[in-house]
Amino acid sequence: MTTRETHRPGRTFARVAATGALTAGVLALTPLAHAAPPPAAPAPPAAGLAAARDTAASPATLDTLSRFFARDGAIARTAAKPRIEGAAVPVYALSPDFVAGKRNAPVATLEYLASKAVSADGQKASVWTAGGGTDWKVVNIATGDDETRYAAEGAKKLSGGTVFREPQVNAWYVQRADRILPLNPEAVRAVGAGGTTVDAYRDRVHKAYGDKLPGSAYAKKGLAGGYEAGAEAQAADAPAPLAAEPAGSASDSGSGTTTLAASAGGAALALGLGTVAVRRLRRR
């Protein structure tokens, strides 16, 4: 499996496991609720999507993208000439409340907004922004266009559905009402080419992750994924307000991927916490 690299200003690139985020506080495990299809995850307002794209297309972000595309001498920084293509898209990840079996919990929760960036030589990157209202900040830049590409594929496959990622296995899906359909090979391996029902998917993820959620005895014992003490200390030493370095998602393209943390603010807190939780699960 390929990985992405994450970098904070002043730090060297470091290879990290590909992750999304299971962000939550202490979750009490409850009996699974098999009833009507769960409500759809709330969509960000149009003004928020526009503001996130404007942030991604700002001169400061484009300058960072020039450096990003020029890493390792891929292209001269002055020749990169990055641009933002299309609209920002919401990026959802598997909800810890859904994993725990909480009644009426949506399958996925919003993590961040992503905008597609393209360089003059054809390189692609995803600019992650987090925030609210019209105040959005860039929290990460990742190679590839997984977020916008799967959003488009999901809209074609199940119009009006919610595209989301199960970060532990890098599976992308689209869900609408009671149906969940796979969007990439990892998702096909998880639920089959024909997809699955929400109830069946809930059962699967509950069995896989229900005892490993933040706040569980498993996590409190420090066993979540066999995360080493040294790595724990490194995460704890990360600059506030991030609880850990934001990490990118794995790519199924077979090419190496890289992420660059362009800036960080309070909006990135959930992303950082989720990185720790899911990295632990993936290393199990």
Distance, CA of 283 to CA of 278 (rounded, Å): 9
pLDDT per position as a tens digit, 50-74:
999 999 999 999 999 999 999 989 8
Tokens of 162: 């919610």
Distance, CA of 61 to CA of 154 (rounded, Å): 28
| pLDDT confidence bin for 214, thresholds 50/70/90 | confident
The predicted pLDDT at position 35 comes to 58
Tokens of 280: 């632990």
pLDDT per position as a tens digit, 223-241:
554 323 333 333 333 322 2
Residue 29 carries which side chain, given as an amino acid letter?
A: L
Measured from the Cβ of residue 223, the count of other Cβ atoms closer than 10 Å reads 14
Residue 235, SS3?
helix
How is the chain split into domains, by residue range?
5-22+38-209+244-266
Tokens of 278: 């899911």
Taking every pair of Cα atoms in the chain, the longest distance, rounded to a whole number of angstroms, is 57
pLDDT per position as a tens digit, 69-91:
999 898 999 999 999 999 999 99
Tokens of 53: 């794209």
Alpha helices in 105-216 (DSSP H): 146-157, 185-191, 198-209
pTM exceeding 0.85: no
Alpha helices in 30-145 (DSSP H): 46-56, 59-69, 77-80, 96-100
Inform me whether the pLDDT recorded for 130 exceeds 70.
yes
Least confident of 153-157, 178-182, 206-210: 206-210
Q: List phi, psi (to 5°) of 43.
A: -90, 145
